[in-house]
Amino acid sequence: MSRLLNYLLLGALLLAMVASFRFLQIDFVGLISPDALEQMGDYAAGFLAPDLSRTYLEELGHGALQTLAMSAIGTLLAALAGLLLALPAAGRWGLVAEQAARLLLNALRAIPELVWAALMVLAAGLGPNAGTLALALHTAGVLGRLFAEALENTPAEPAEAVRLAGGGRVAAFVYGTLPGVWPQLLAYSLYRWENNIRMASVLGFVGAGGLGQMLYMSLSLFQHAQAASVILAMLLLVLAVDAFSAWSRQRWLSR
Amino acid sequence: MRDPAALPRLLLTLLALALLWPGLSLSELNLGALFEPGNARTMGQFLGDFWPPAHEADFLALLWRATLETLAIATAGMTLALLLALPAGLLASRALSLSALYRGGRPAWWGALLRWPVRGLLIVLRSVPEIVWALLFVRAVGLGPTAGVLAIAITYAGMLGKVYAEIFESVDGGPARALLGAGASRLAAFCYGVLPNAAGEMLSYSVYRWECAIRASVVMGFVGAGGLGQQMDLSMRMFAGEEVAAMLLVFLVLVLLADQLSRLLRSRLT
Amino acid sequence: MSIQVHGVGLTHADGTRALSDVRLSIAQGERVALIGPSGAGKTSLLRLLATALRPSEGHLQLLGSDPWQLSARARQQLRRRIGLVHQQPPLPPRQRVVTAVSAGRLGQWSLPRALLNLLHPLDAAGVQAELARLDLADKLFARCDELSGGQLQRVGIARVLYQQPELLLADEPVSAMDPVLAGHTLGLLGEEAQRRGLTLIASLHAVDLALTHFPRVIGVREGRILFDRPAGEVSPAELEALYVNDQLPSREPPPSAAPLPVARC
């Protein structure tokens, strides 16, 4: 009985796959016709000679630094906001606050970064500010949830002992709880920063600055040599940040 | 006694401050921009329109079609990705290496030479964000779902190919090597030696990626690749808050349902 | 009077009865040992005196006030004057000893000062002086997870000494130390208590340590006080009654090593 159900499920999956192609009415024949292929070939050829002139490399450098700054500041803001929201979400201020905080964190997380960026462009105007805010909002949701779990799993005795000796709540948290969860918070934040670099590169597509905005403009103006350079710059940036993050995690967090 | 941690901490603090200043200026962070009178008024009106979300009949019909389109883009894209990733994974994996048979599991240098280009290609396909591919394809083949399908197919082929190759290598290689040693073709060795054990993991990962593909399809719509995302972009440009609210709700429900479906499939079929 | 306990009973949240009808009077400057079998309620009594637990019946007076009649703020100020040495030192593993010990005065420091102290120890000399009394001066900048069990317990004691309380409660403060070190540390604790005029109450497993270092001994069994005497007047019969354990299977004493009679031929 269960096997039959499994086969039915598989059959349904295959049916869904075929149905999706028919629904979209993709003209595959048209795609691989000689004309179309030639057109795509011409389109692709423009990318094979990236613009590496000095002036453009400077622009690229500025764009890359802007993207890096967006991702770093956005992640930093998100870590602070996430920690702040993680306190109620871990149940420290009562049940009502816990549910409200969790709902807020889920909402922040569920909306993709690009959608946040589009909203922030509406709210704060074009430019990297919108991108930074968008990353901060989305990542606060992700980090807040991770931080809340870390807080729930950390022993409560050190902070309680400080309270019992007359210390205030903030002091008890900073001296008793934070030293225990600090490595985890740092690890999660670094991990999200790696992801945010990739996202920061593309938020510019909706006008949020950085390399993405440069790529969007050069594609719109059919400047394919410049576009190719931007894509290369994006790849390099991602590789560099991945390497740095791996090194710093190994150096600071494996002790 | 001198505190040994004093100097490193001081240097680290100075470094952080030194980086913070240019970081803030480059990112042009300005929370105040949210509250500037003009912006605040427009945004306030926009958010105010969120309730009640749009629910006229013809809008709902449009929404339904857009949602189906997003689902179709994700599914069709994943199908193509699967078709590309299976052979790519086979080529990139060391599990079927004939030269490895005689060297205790490690392929000869010329075997590695053939595998590395495939692995390199998979890395490049994965590392360029799918939305960049989407933008390129929109310019190449025009607005609409085709661009989305192709973008997903290419990026996810890279991801699936890498993971499939790893799964093939992590499965017990004994049966496959025995078959190869007995003279079976590589394809036969794969189908009878590797696939039965690897199928479960492959399916699980692919279904998980399908979920991600749905989210990616919505995001790609913002650069013109069709589906729910493209509609959301249009509504945002027109400041139609009630439409955006409805679409966000549908998106959240869609993601939730996809998550449930993926859990169901993964638990039943693996 | 430093401590007055009037007919206090304590029932834990899960229903177990920890203490029943406890009556105590301890003057400022006294040194008292609590002894008794495992699970007798010594830790509960100490935590009660530290105001960590609230009595289910009866009331108590600590340093002149009933802590549970005070506002939360006043209770926090009272807690500043009471120090509790925990059985397992509540020290974050990655924290350095200097920071862990200086946390003893968090009740007296303002928040900005506390935060600054975290970055750079503001009173390293003071902390070092306390550690020196316990022969741990060289561990000032070590991390807590680099210390042995006995060293960690001594850091816990140093923290409470640094707090400079008027009432010092210690829950098994030497349980992880070898007998010589344990005796030495208890001697030190007693000296410090006399020097500063503190009231000292310590629970101990080792009866001989209790009788040697403390002038007054209280025996606790099954949540009740069995006896409350000066150390010289505790009789062996009372000690046996305190520690008798009906649940452990009785064992035949091993045969004594008497020489076998060798047959003479």
Q: What is the CATH number of the domain that holds C62?
A: 3.40.50.300
pLDDT band for position A39 (cuts 50, 70, 90): confident
Rounded CA-CA distance A126/A134 in Å is 12
pLDDT, one tens digit per residue, over A164-200 is 999 999 999 999 999 999 988 998 998 898 889 888 9
- What is the average pLDDT across A31-43? 75
Which pLDDT score, from 0 to 100, does residue B125 have? 79
Tell me, yes or no, whether C260 lies in a domain. Answer: no
State whether B27 and B113 are in the same domain: no
- Interchain CB distance below 8 Å, A162 and C80: no
pLDDT, one tens digit per residue, over A64-120 is 999 999 999 999 999 999 999 999 999 888 899 999 999 999 999 999 999 999 999
Average pLDDT over chain B, rounded to an integer: 86
Tell me, yes or no, whether B1 lies in a domain. Answer: no
State whether B91 and B141 are in the same domain: yes
Is B267 exposed, middle or buried (CB count within 10 Å of its CB: 0-12, 13-18, 19+)?
exposed
Which pLDDT score, from 0 to 100, does residue A190 have? 86
Rounded CA-CA distance A210/A45 in Å is 25
Q: Which of C96, C120, C128 lies at the smallest CB-CB distance from B1?
A: C128
Name the residue of chain B whose CA is nearest to A242's CA: B127
Tell me, yes or no, whether B116 lies in a domain. Answer: yes
Structure tokens at B157: 């082929």
Query: What's the CATH fold of domain A52-253?
Result: MetI-like fold (1.10.3720)
Which pLDDT score, from 0 to 100, does residue B49 have? 87
Tell me, yes or no, whether C263 lies in a domain. Answer: no
Residues in CB range of B105: below 8 A, 6 or more apart = B94, B173
State whether C146 and C190 are in the same domain: no
- 3-state class (DSSP) for residue B55: coil
Domain boundary among C116, C147, C164: C164
State whether C159 and C172 are in the same domain: no
What is the CATH classification number for the domain harbouring B154? 1.10.3720.10
Q: Most B CBs within 10 Å: which of A67, A119, A122, A221, as the mutation test of the B interface? A: A122
State whether C33 and C77 are in the same domain: yes
Which pLDDT score, from 0 to 100, does residue B105 have? 58
Residues in CB range of C68: below 8 A, 6 or more apart = C51, C54, C55, C59, C75
- Interchain CB distance below 8 Å, C120 and B1: no
Give the 3-state secondary structure of A144-162. Answer: HHHHHHHHHCCCCHHHHHH
Strands C3-11 and C167-171: unpaired
Q: Quick check: C91 and A176 in contact, CB under 8 A?
A: no
Which pLDDT score, from 0 to 100, does residue B229 have? 93
Name the residue of chain C whose CA is nearest to A161's CA: C90
Which pLDDT score, from 0 to 100, does residue C257 have? 58
Which pLDDT score, from 0 to 100, does residue C256 have? 58
Which pLDDT score, from 0 to 100, does residue C90 have? 94
Which pLDDT score, from 0 to 100, does residue C260 have? 60
| Parts of chain A belonging to CATH 1.10.3720.10 | 52-253
- Chain A positions in Cβ-Cβ contact with residue B23 (cut-off 8 Å): 69, 72-73
- Interchain CB distance below 8 Å, A23 and B239: no
State whether C100 and C158 are in the same domain: yes
Task: Give contacts of B 7-46 with C, CB under 8 A.
Answer: 9, 13
Rounded CA-CA distance C105/C80 in Å is 8
Beta-carbon contacts below 8 Å between A and B: 147
C-alpha of A76 from chain center: 13
Q: Quick check: B199 and B205 in contact, CB under 8 A?
A: no
Tell me, yes or no, whether C61 lies in a domain. Answer: yes
Rounded CA-CA distance B148/B134 in Å is 6
**Does C119 lie at the interface with B, CB-CB under 8 angstroms?**
yes
Tell me, yes or no, whether C157 lies in a domain. Answer: yes
Which pLDDT score, from 0 to 100, does residue B192 have? 83
User: CA of C219 to nearest chain A CA: how many angstroms apart?
Assistant: 26
State whether C139 and C27 are in the same domain: no
Total domains in the fold of chain C: 2
Q: Quick check: C167 and C198 in contact, CB under 8 A?
A: yes
- 3-state class (DSSP) for residue B17: helix
State whether C74 and C176 are in the same domain: yes
State whether B76 and B194 are in the same domain: yes
**Does C86 lie at the interface with A, CB-CB under 8 angstroms?**
yes
**Does B5 lie at the interface with C, CB-CB under 8 angstroms?**
yes
State whether B146 and B23 are in the same domain: no
Q: Which of B109-113, B166-170, C178-182 has the highest mean pLDDT?
A: C178-182
Which pLDDT score, from 0 to 100, does residue A223 have? 87
Which ipTM value was assigned to this complex?
0.86
**Does B261 lie at the interface with A, CB-CB under 8 angstroms?**
no
State whether C31 and C148 are in the same domain: no
Rounded CA-CA distance A208/A127 in Å is 5
Which pLDDT score, from 0 to 100, does residue B63 have? 93
Tell me, yes or no, whether B80 lies in a domain. Answer: yes
Helix B241-269 / helix A2-24 crossing angle, nearest 10 deg? 140
User: CA of B6 to nearest chain C CA: how many angstroms apart?
Assistant: 7
Residue ranges in chain C modelled with pLDDT below 70: 1, 246-247, 250-265
Inform me whether the pLDDT recorded for A14 exceeds 70.
yes
User: CA of B138 to nearest chain A CA: how many angstroms apart?
Assistant: 10
Full residue range of the structural domain in which residue B117 is found: 57-269
State whether C77 and C174 are in the same domain: yes
Total domains in the fold of chain B: 2
State whether B189 and B218 are in the same domain: yes
Inform me whether the pLDDT recorded for A152 exceeds 70.
yes
Q: Which strands form C199-203's sheet, in the order they lie side by side?
A: C82-85, C167-171, C199-203, C31-35, C216-221, C224-230
Rounded CA-CA distance B241/B56 in Å is 14
Rounded CA-CA distance A130/C17 in Å is 60
Rounded CA-CA distance A136/A130 in Å is 10
Which pLDDT score, from 0 to 100, does residue C104 have? 94
State whether B195 and B246 are in the same domain: yes
Tell me, yes or no, whether B66 lies in a domain. Answer: yes
State whether C118 and C216 are in the same domain: no
Other CB atoms within a 10 A radius of the CB of residue A107 amount to 13
State whether C171 and C77 are in the same domain: yes
State whether B122 and B81 are in the same domain: yes
- Chain A positions in Cβ-Cβ contact with residue C77 (cut-off 8 Å): 166
Burial C62-79 (b: 16+ CB within 10 A, else e): bbeeebeeeeeeeebebb
Which pLDDT score, from 0 to 100, does residue B4 have? 87
State whether B108 and B20 are in the same domain: no
Rounded CA-CA distance C215/B213 in Å is 76
- Interchain CB distance below 8 Å, B27 and A73: yes
State whether C61 and C184 are in the same domain: yes
Full residue range of the structural domain in which residue C132 is found: 85-164
**Does B62 lie at the interface with A, CB-CB under 8 angstroms?**
no
State whether C238 and C111 are in the same domain: no
Percent of chain B topping pLDDT 90:
37
Average pLDDT over chain A, rounded to an integer: 88
First to last CA, chain B: 62
**Does C97 lie at the interface with A, CB-CB under 8 angstroms?**
no
